[in-house]
Structure 1
């Protein structure tokens, strides 16, 4: 299957398989989820607080909050940390951010007056 999952606890005694999303389904969705929403779902399933998440990521709780609410974009550095702390690959996290950012931009960028450059 094409699932992105979290690994095991540090002591490896309790498996914490958490399905974040089905990648193929996500990529087909017209309404792209915000990366912070996916992270929040994972934290809820793991019963992890914002402070615990921030500590695991080695970031300030305020930074974690901005990430979850979409007030801060997911950077490559954050993608690497998320891949370790929650699971999946850094590329998957960046793809989520890019898909969401593009979908948001398409709602606001006015292209009606733009013209394609052509060779003469």
Structure 2
């Protein structure tokens, strides 16, 4: 299957596994440092659970990266999996608003 950017989906758990292997830190030890269960880390590493916002904060802190980095990895993975599931059907959807034209939808406002 050809993906929009040509790359297959990569679960964030693969990145966690590679970092832990490189640092020679066990999943159990890593989980203890984060204050979460080893099972939770294991499920992410085995690509059976997503990186949640909470985990993004913890992973970001532990690996000196931003939480946005981890959320971005998860969002990219999720979009590619959705693309795979839809098998190109999404490309056939006709736009309601032409590219370059705004819409009446507003972005959420930041509170003062």
| 1:116 equivalent among 94, 97, 101 | 94
Q: 1:85 aligned to 62, 68, 76, which one? A: 62
Which whole-Å CA distance do the structure 2 matches of 1:40 and 1:29 have between them?
23
1:41 aligns with 2:18: yes
Query: Do the aligned partners of residues 65 and 77 (structure 1) sit closer, same or farther apart at CA in structure 2, a change above 3 Å counting?
Result: same
Aligned to 2:109: none
Q: Whose Rg is larger?
A: 2
Following TM superposition, by how much is the alpha carbon of 1:29 offset from its aligned partner in structure 2, in angstroms?
A: 6.5
Going from structure 1 to structure 2, the CA distance change for 1:81 and 1:118 (only over 3 Å counts) comes to closer
The offset of 1:118, in angstroms, is 4.5
Which residue among 35, 50, 54 is the counterpart of 1:58? 35
1:70 is matched with 47
Deviations 1:80-116 (A, max 9, x none): 000111221000110000001111111112527x643
Which ranges of 4 or more aligned residues in structure 1 deviate by more than 2 Å?
A: 114-119
- Between the two proteins, the alignment pairs up a number of residues equal to 92
Stretches of structure 1 lacking an aligned partner (at least 5 in a row): 1-27
Q: Which runs of 5+ in 2 are unaligned?
A: 98-112
Alignment of 1:31 onto 2:17: no
In structure 2, relative to structure 1, the CA distance for the partners of 1:104 and 1:59 (3 Å cut) is same
